[in-house]
Amino acid sequence: MIVVTGAAGFIGSCLVARLNSLGRHDLIVVDEMSGDGDPKKKNLAGKRYQRYYDKAEYLKLLKRDSFDFDVECILHMGACSSTTLDDADYFRKNNFEYSCSVAQWAAANDARLIYASSAATYGNGEMGYSDEESMVPRLKPLNLYGESKQKFDEWVLQQGYQNRMAGLKFFNVFGPNEYHKGDMRSVVSKAYGRVVSEGKMVLFKSYRPEYKDGGQKRDFIYVKDAVEAVLFFMGNPGANGIFNLGTGRAHTFNELAHALFAAVGRTPAIEYIEMPENLRDRYQYFTQADMAKLRRAGYTRAFMPLQDAVKDYCGYLSTGSCW
């Protein structure tokens, strides 16, 4: 069996979709949903899997080691990804302790583990974007989400698990199945409706002179590309350690906006608005994955150009469909 945690979430549900397309239905899916009205249910509709576990039930089974099936691989995508939530106790329990339990079980049962880390661990980028293990303890995240991912990466290294697991530092992932994420959705997702109906969108002003308004740069990676990289690690158990997962090329938010306008056939009209004060001191102005380590591990697949990825995503947004 393949276990996918966070399976009703953004990246997790896309992994389930891709595995299904490859004929893999031997999946155990795990998530935490708030009853029948939880919008994330849509992400699992039509997907094929053997069993669904609520996160709390899954954790109990982990701690008792009482599964009645063999596990080939755990794709651990389950976590809170909010960069604005200020609840240290929640991040400790949901992101760090949960991940520790999953990793300990995987190590004890010789199961492959691939887990989601984050580029949020790099903070303002003052230490660069190298994913070499010696750099991990030196990083200084800007928010509690980044700190929770950083803490787990450090714990993995302390346990020596980096020789048997793969941790993936996802950069700015966007694409289908993210509709439920609220303010944590990508700019494309949040702006699409207004761009189509009014031909307008908004971006944050810059508060650093070296960046123009909308000139802040991020390494945007399409979720379909991110999923292919995860599956590479699933199929290559000798590729272990902590790896960046971006494209290796940063684009400005203005470039992203222009790609969106082009995808829907609109003339660009961008308004620059004030950034909320609570974000100004913890805002990443630049991210760009150093991809050398991933390439050395044997990953050769090209990443979809930003314009093509945005156009493909708009196909889902126009119909309200999931992948």
* 120 and 52 belong to one structural domain: yes
> Closest Cα to residue 120, out of 50, 264, 41, 219?
219
CA 124/CA 145 separation, integer angstroms: 14
Kindly compute the dihedral angle of the four CA atoms of residues 47, 50, 55, 59, in this order, to the nearest 10 degrees: -150
Q: Is the dihedral of CA 260, 266, 271, 273 positive or negative?
A: negative
* 100 and 60 belong to one structural domain: yes
Q: Angle of helix 144-159 relative to helix 98-108, nearest 10 degrees? A: 20
CA 104/CA 97 separation, integer angstroms: 11
> Closest Cα to residue 168, out of 10, 3, 11?
11
* 210 and 130 belong to one structural domain: no
Residue 36: band (very low, low, confident or very high) from pLDDT cuts 50, 70, 90? confident
Residue 42, Cβ density class (10 Å: 0-12 exposed, 13-18 middle, ≥19 buried): middle
pLDDT of res. 283 = 93
CA 43/CA 178 separation, integer angstroms: 9
* 126 and 18 belong to one structural domain: yes
What's the CATH code of the domain at 244? 3.40.50.720
* 56 and 185 belong to one structural domain: no
The vertex-192 CA angle with 252 and 204, nearest 5°, equals 40
Residue 35: band (very low, low, confident or very high) from pLDDT cuts 50, 70, 90? confident
Confirm whether 164 is domain-assigned.
yes
CA 82/CA 118 separation, integer angstroms: 12
Kindly compute the dihedral angle of the four CA atoms of residues 270, 274, 276, 282, in this order, to the nearest 10 degrees: 80
pLDDT of res. 293 = 98
How many structural domains are present in the chain?
Answer: 2
| CB within 8 Å of 6: residues ≥ 6 apart | 12, 30, 31, 76, 77, 78, 79, 116
Contact (Cβ atoms closer than 8 angstroms) between residue 266 and residue 310: no
Confirm whether 100 is domain-assigned.
yes
* 269 and 170 belong to one structural domain: no
Show the domain range for 199.
179-216+251-280
* 148 and 169 belong to one structural domain: yes
Confirm whether 322 is domain-assigned.
no
pLDDT of res. 170 = 98
* 195 and 118 belong to one structural domain: no
The residues that are catalytic are 145, 181
Confirm whether 258 is domain-assigned.
yes
Confirm whether 274 is domain-assigned.
yes
HSE value, Cβ hemisphere, 13 Å, CA-based, for 219: 23
* 75 and 100 belong to one structural domain: yes
Confirm whether 319 is domain-assigned.
no
Confirm whether 313 is domain-assigned.
no
Long-range contacts of 300-304 (CB under 8 A, 24+ apart): 301/225, 301/228, 301/229, 301/232, 303/221, 303/222, 303/225, 303/247, 303/248, 304/222, 304/224, 304/225
* 96 and 201 belong to one structural domain: no
pLDDT of res. 14 = 98
Confirm whether 110 is domain-assigned.
yes
Model pLDDT for residues 206-259, shown as the tens digit of each residue: 999 999 999 999 999 999 999 999 999 999 999 999 999 999 999 999 999 999
* 108 and 61 belong to one structural domain: yes
* 110 and 197 belong to one structural domain: no
